[in-house]
Amino acid sequence: MAVSVASAAWDSDTMEYYGSQISNLIEQLGSLPGIGHKTAQRLAFHIISLPQEKVEALASALTQARTHVRYCTECGTLTDQERCPICRDPKRDHRTVMVVENSRDLAAYEKTGHYSGVYHVLQGVISPQLGIGPSDIRLKELMQRLQGDVDEVIIATGSSLEGETTAMYISRLVKPTGIKVTRIASGVPVGGDLEYIDEVTLLRALDGRVEL
C-alpha cells in the first residue's frame, strides 16, 4: 500500500507542477521496464528540450518499429525483414545452431564477435510455475530446422531453474536424432541473464561447452 500511495503522491505532485501534458509523458515513460519516476522525469524534460524534428524522428522510429518489426521466419529473432541478417548470411555456419531464450541473448553473443554459427530463439523457457510448457516456446520450429543439415546444437539457455529445465528437455528431444548436443559451460553464474554477462565470460562459456 505504501508504494501505491507514494506513486499516487508523485502523480499528484507531477500534475500540480507541470500540467497534464508533461505528467502524461512522464507516466508513459515511467511505465517502461527499469524506468523509475526520477529517470522518467529526466527523459521527459530531455525530450521536451529537443528540436521539433528530433522529437518527430523519435516518435516515428517508435511507430515504425512497432509496425514493421516481426519475428524472423527461420530463427525467431526480431527483425524488420522476413529473414534476419544472420540467417541470410551465407558466410555463417548454418550447421551449428545455438539455442537462446530471447533476442537479447542472441545480441549478447553477437557482441563477442566469436560465434560464427546461427541461432534459434525460443522466445521463452519452460516454466510450469508460470504455466509455460514446451508447446508455448519454439521447440517445434527447432525440431523442424534440425531436419536439415545440422551438425551441432549448442544450448545456451540461462542457468536459472527454468533455463536448466529447458536445456534438459531440448537435449532429450535432440539426442535421438544423432545430432551433437552441447551446453554452454558453467562460466555463466547461476541465475545469471546472458544479456548482463561480460563478453569474456560468454566466450569462456562457449569455448568450454560440454556435450550432453
Residue 20's CATH number:
1.10.8.420
Mean pLDDT of the chain: 85
The boundaries of the domain holding residue 32 are 2-68
* CATH assignment at residue 97: 3.40.1360.10
**pLDDT for the residue numbered 190:** 41
Q: Is residue 74 part of a domain?
A: no
Answer yes or no: do 91 and 165 share one domain: yes
**pLDDT for the residue numbered 210:** 65
Answer yes or no: do 63 and 108 share one domain: no
**pLDDT for the residue numbered 20:** 84
> What is the pTM (predicted TM-score) of this model?
0.73
Answer yes or no: do 10 and 114 share one domain: no
**pLDDT for the residue numbered 211:** 78
Per mean pLDDT, which range of 71-85, 164-178, 184-198 is the poorest?
184-198
For the four alpha carbons of 180, 185, 206 and 137, in that order, the dihedral sign comes to positive
**pLDDT for the residue numbered 11:** 57
Answer yes or no: do 168 and 96 share one domain: yes
CA-to-CA dists, residue 123 to 44, 75, 137, 170, 188, angstroms: 31, 10, 6, 14, 20
Decide if pLDDT at 201 tops 90: no
Tens of pLDDT, residues 105-161: 999 889 888 899 999 999 999 999 999 999 999 999 999 999 989 999 999 998 888
**pLDDT for the residue numbered 2:** 43
Domain termination residue (choose one: 42, 68, 94)? 68
Q: Is residue 73 part of a domain?
A: no
Domain termination residue (choose one: 68, 97, 126)? 68
Tens of pLDDT, residues 15-24: 566 678 888 9
**pLDDT for the residue numbered 204:** 65
Decide if pLDDT at 101 tops 70: yes
Q: Which residue, among 72, 172, 161, 176, has the nearest Cα to 122 in the 3D structure?
A: 72
Tens of pLDDT, residues 36-63: 989 999 999 999 999 999 999 999 999 9
CA-to-CA dists, residue 108 to 5, 85, 166, angstroms: 38, 16, 19
Decide if pLDDT at 191 tops 60: no
